[in-house]
Structure 1
Amino acid sequence: MQFDLSAVETATMVFVGTLVFALVLAAFVLTAGFIALVLVGVGKLGWFLLSTTLLALVHGINHGWDRLVHHASTVEIPGDFQGQPSPSTGSYPRVILRDS
Structure 2
Amino acid sequence: MQFDFTTLDTSTYVFVGTLVLGLVLAAFIAAAAMATLALVGAGSLAWYTVKNVLGGLVRGINFAWDLLVHQTGKVELPVEFPSQTSPSTGTYPRVALRDS
Whether TM-score is above 0.5 comes out as yes
Aligned to 2:79: 79
Aligned to 1:96: 96
8 Å contact 2:77–2:96 — kept in the other structure?
Answer: no
**1:5 Cα shift?**
4.1
**Other structure's SS at 1:85 match:** strand
Number of paired residues?
98
Aligned to 1:39: 39
Q: TM-score of the superposition, structure 2-length normalised?
A: 0.79
CA distance in 2, matches of 1:86, 1:50: 52
**1:61 Cα shift?**
1.7
The residue correspondences of 1:1-100 to structure 2 (distance < 5 A) are 5-100=5-100
**Other structure's SS at 1:95 match:** coil
**1:76 Cα shift?**
1.9
Encode CA deviations 1:69-91: one digit per residue, 9 max, x unaligned.
11112212112222223343322
Q: Which moved more, 1:53-62 or 1:6-15?
A: 6-15
**1:4 Cα shift?**
5.9
Unaligned 5+ segments in structure 2 are none
Q: TM-score of the superposition, structure 1-length normalised?
A: 0.79
Q: Which moved more, 1:81-90 or 1:29-38?
A: 81-90
**Other structure's SS at 1:91 match:** strand
AA aligned opposite 2:9? E
Encode CA deviations 1:3-26: one digit per residue, 9 max, x unaligned.
864332223212221221111111
Unaligned 5+ segments in structure 1 are none
